[in-house]
Amino acid sequence: MSLKDVLGIELSGANSRAIGHYERAIRELQCVRGDPIASADAAIAEAPGFAMAHAVRAWAHLLGTELSGLPNAREAHALAAATAGTARERAHVTALGLLLEGHWHRSARVLEDCTIAAPRDALGLLVGHQLDFFTGHSRMLRDRIARALPAWDEGVPGYHSILGMAAFGLEETFDFSRAEAIGRRAVELEPLDGWAQHAVAHVLEMQCRQHDGIAWMRSNPAAWSSESYLAVHNWWHLALFHYDLTDYATTLSLYDREMGGGTSSVVLDMIDASALLFRLQLRGVDVSDRWQVLADAWAPVATACNYAFNDAHAVMALVGAGRLEAARAVLAAQETSMRRDDDNASFTREVGHAVARAFLAFGEEDYARTVSLLREVRSIAHRFGGSHAQRDILDLTLLEAAFRAGQTGLARALATERQETRHDSPLSRLFVRRAAGRAAAA
């Protein structure tokens, strides 16, 4: 007879001790902290035929978008496939197999149906939510969780995570007031929930509430940064508030002290490091040798080209370090990746390759080409993943390139656009003044 977890979901091949380790892995994933792979391994040690413990292990290796995680994920997937006994377990096995083959959208759809049937499948909701994020599917970031919400309440373990995901989905679909209220409630219920903390930070960033954002992130940083593998990203959010206030000294200090100064070899951390340094470089801030340190970190994986969003940030770092030949090697690897029959080929063809070429053109001081490339894809950039806050680097680069290319009319239009959409931003006002000065000097 199969046992059930704390949510009442049947688990094949488990025993009570293994379930304790498995549930810890789920809690760690929900709070983006700790070591869910180690917890899954502990569950497997207690019950080698525990299908969902193998599935957790596979998902955890895949969600980092690291090429190095694929062998471990494949091994865990095979073990899960051999032991899956329920329809829900077989759905996870199918979704894992599809993602391993590069079919991100189909994997997310299988999990969508899985959680329609089992709305308390915390792992299915969490992984599906992440796939929606990686594919830039903002509506599903909201709707996947909205469908499951009636099955959850404060008496159900992990409810905070459902609220945190709901908050992020609402923010990405511009329902800021509800997103903030739900996200703050999630953090009240579980202060260690780094994803919910991050959802509120997104709201405050999108609304240009820089001082509120700084207060939010500074109120209890030990809770969201200690043992958290989202810590660098959340420090990045705090740095963005200071950046928008044109407080570049504090922005750099956060980069050096809290974000690790570009020394992390974790791809998701390197993405944040690239995004912050490039923003600073656009403003003419001297980042000294920081680019070299970060480019060294990117060097072993820059041409992996398994996710176009990563490629763009690798090119940023290589261009910043002046390693233009290495940046061109990424573009060449993308040419190969676009010939594959998987979703990343589409991410790259539709958006990622143009973005990477635009960053290279910027490094080559071909600002007119940067403008041309970014104008082609900025309205569909969600197709290669990331959040609104992350993709803002495209608008910032386009605006700066327009100024440097001498395209004064376009620069003025873009500055005006930004002032209208981000009217409480000191950075927006700076761009408007700069455009006015250019026009007056013409």
Which residues sit opposite 10 in a β-bridge?
4
Is 10 a residue whose pLDDT tops 70?
A: yes
Is 1 a residue whose pLDDT tops 60?
A: no
| Average of per-residue pLDDT across 135-156 | 97
| Average of per-residue pLDDT across 115-133 | 98
Q: Are 232 and 269 in contact (CB under 8 A)?
A: yes
Give CA–CA dist 413/269, Å, rounded.
Answer: 34
Give CA–CA dist 228/83, Å, rounded.
Answer: 31
Angle at Cα 356 formed by Cα 352 and Cα 362, nearest 5°?
145
Question: Which residues 6+ apart lie within 8 Å of 303 measured at CB?
Answer: 329, 330, 332, 333
- Of the candidates 339, 274, 257, 262, the one whose C-alpha atom is nearest the C-alpha of residue 309 is 274
Give CA–CA dist 223/344, Å, rounded.
Answer: 35
- Residue pLDDT, tens place only, 185-239: 999 999 999 999 999 999 999 999 999 999 999 999 999 999 999 999 999 999 9
Give CA–CA dist 82/74, Å, rounded.
Answer: 12
- How large a percentage of the chain has pLDDT more than 70? 99
How many whole angstroms from its chain centre is CA 397?
Answer: 19
Report long-range pairs for 422-425 (Cβ below 8 Å, ≥24 apart): 422/208, 423/208, 424/207, 424/208, 424/209, 425/208, 425/210, 425/244
Tokens at 42, concatenated = 């502990």
Supply the DSSP symbol for 33.
B
* Predicted pLDDT at 200: 98
Give CA–CA dist 73/32, Å, rounded.
Answer: 19
Give residue 442's pLDDT band: very low, low, confident or very high (50, 70, 90): low
Give CA–CA dist 235/217, Å, rounded.
Answer: 8
Give residue 30's pLDDT band: very low, low, confident or very high (50, 70, 90): very high
Question: Which residues 6+ apart lie within 8 Å of 393 measured at CB?
Answer: 275, 278, 279, 316
Give CA–CA dist 14/25, Å, rounded.
Answer: 14
- Residue pLDDT, tens place only, 240-255: 999 999 999 999 999 9
Is 149 a residue whose pLDDT tops 70?
A: yes
Quickly list H helices, 321-377.
324-337, 343-347, 353-363, 367-377
* Predicted pLDDT at 437: 86
Q: Are 93 and 77 in contact (CB under 8 A)?
A: yes
Give residue 55's pLDDT band: very low, low, confident or very high (50, 70, 90): very high
- Residue pLDDT, tens place only, 371-414: 999 999 999 999 999 999 999 999 999 999 999 999 999 999 99
Give residue 354's pLDDT band: very low, low, confident or very high (50, 70, 90): very high
* Predicted pLDDT at 25: 98
**Pairing of β 10-11 and β 3-4:** antiparallel
Which residues sit opposite 317 in a β-bridge?
none
What rounded mean pLDDT belongs to the chain? 97
Q: Are 320 and 314 in contact (CB under 8 A)?
A: no
- Could you tell me which CATH number the domain at 1-135 has? 1.25.40.10
- Of the candidates 152, 173, 174, the one whose C-alpha atom is nearest the C-alpha of residue 161 is 152
Supply the DSSP symbol for 85.
-
Indicate the pTM of the whole model.
Answer: 0.97
Is 438 a residue whose pLDDT tops 80?
A: no
Instruction: Count other Cβ atoms within 10 Å, centred on residue 304.
Output: 18
Q: Say which residue the tokens 């927006």 belong to.
A: 428
* Predicted pLDDT at 2: 75
Give CA–CA dist 360/322, Å, rounded.
Answer: 10
Tokens at 251, concatenated = 């922005």
Q: Are 187 and 193 in contact (CB under 8 A)?
A: yes
Tokens at 8, concatenated = 């009442």
Give CA–CA dist 373/353, Å, rounded.
Answer: 10
